[in-house]
Amino acid sequence: MSFSGDVKRELSEHVGSARHCLIAELAALICACGQMSADPPCLEVHTENEVPYKKTFTLLQKAFTIKSLQEHHQEGGGWSLKITEPAEILTVLSACGLVQRTADGWRLEGAPEERITERVCCRKAYIRGAFLGSGSINDPNKNYHLEFVLEQKEKAEKVRELLQSFGVEAHVLSRRRFSKEIYVTYLKDGSQIADVLNIMGSHASLLRFEDIRVVKDVRNKINRQVNCEAANLDRVISAAVRQTEDIQLIDEMIGLDTLPKGLREAAEARLAAPDASLSEISIRLGIGKSGVNHRFRKLLEIAESLKKNQE
């Protein structure tokens, strides 16, 4: 099973005892997967995955007494729960804060009333339900990405708002899917995705996620360090080659004996150790790195002057 599937399976086993949390999670699942029809009256929660379907069934059974609840498993995939009794539909939607009164009666609202997510525990339950119904998370071995895909902007903004209440900064964007616009609340920061797993109560998946993240961070740190050391080595070698060439030019044209003592000693030290770093040369000469660097700059100036005289 995928990492996302493992997270959902773990969350499906998280069933609270407080009715207000059950209702908050159910409200999120209805927002993500629910649809209403008026003739005949029917509230349907349809999912492509069995895990959120079973969780929705459990929440309905624990929070309500529904006599008209029907279960459907469609050939080729897909699971549906249907409530067909108008009074029972109204009871569920009213409890979930998803009823909007209209001139013709009432209809399914886009996002739940604020009272549904007033408590901290209910905000966590709502985020958990939203992930079960509309969320996915990439395998952290590949890249960090968690998202909630919803059909209405207000639903996506609701998830973003609830995440923000826990200090998690998510973003919302729109996409086209099958000529229809959808809205995505998403995160790409590894530490914030870890926070979301913790908020939802997916603790086993969180430990696995963090283990992978630590290994990746250490590997990336080692790679950066190796690349940095390789770059430094390249610079040392390039500088040493250039200095050696300058010194050889000076020796050929005017001889090293014509140089002041300090420059001659630096030149001879470089010729004796073509691959040595400035630190190693400074130890040989018994002076500081800045002093060695200054002498090599002087040798460079002499070599450049000789080259100009040749032209």
Predicted confidence (pLDDT) per residue in 22-69, tens digit: 999 999 999 999 888 877 888 899 998 889 999 999 999 999 988 888
> Is the whole model's pTM more than 0.75, yes or no?
no
> What single-letter DSSP state applies at residue 96?
T
Which one-letter amino acid corresponds to residue 255? G
What domains lie within the chain, and their CATH numbers? Answer: 3-201 (3.10.28.10), 216-310 (no CATH)
Predicted confidence (pLDDT) per residue in 83-139, tens digit: 999 899 889 999 999 987 666 667 777 889 999 999 999 999 999 999 999 999 999
**Which tokens in the block code for residue 173?**
């964007």
Stretch among 215-219, 262-266, 280-284, 306-310 having the lowest mean pLDDT: 306-310
For all residues of the chain together, what is the average pLDDT?
A: 88
Whole-number Å distance between alpha carbons of 268 and 290: 18
Whole-number Å distance between alpha carbons of 146 and 137: 4
Phi-psi region of 97 (alpha: psi -120 to 50; beta: other; left: phi over 0): left
Q: Look at strands 69-73 and 79-83 and give their pairing.
A: antiparallel
- Residue 267: pLDDT over 90: no
User: For residue 269, what are the CA distances in angstroms to 10, 266, 302?
Assistant: 67, 5, 17
* Buried b or exposed e, range 163-179, using 16+ CB within 10 angstroms: beeeebebebeeeeeee
Sign of the Cα pseudo-torsion (3, 6, 12, 17, in order):
negative
Q: Which residue reads 């002499």 in tokens? A: 302
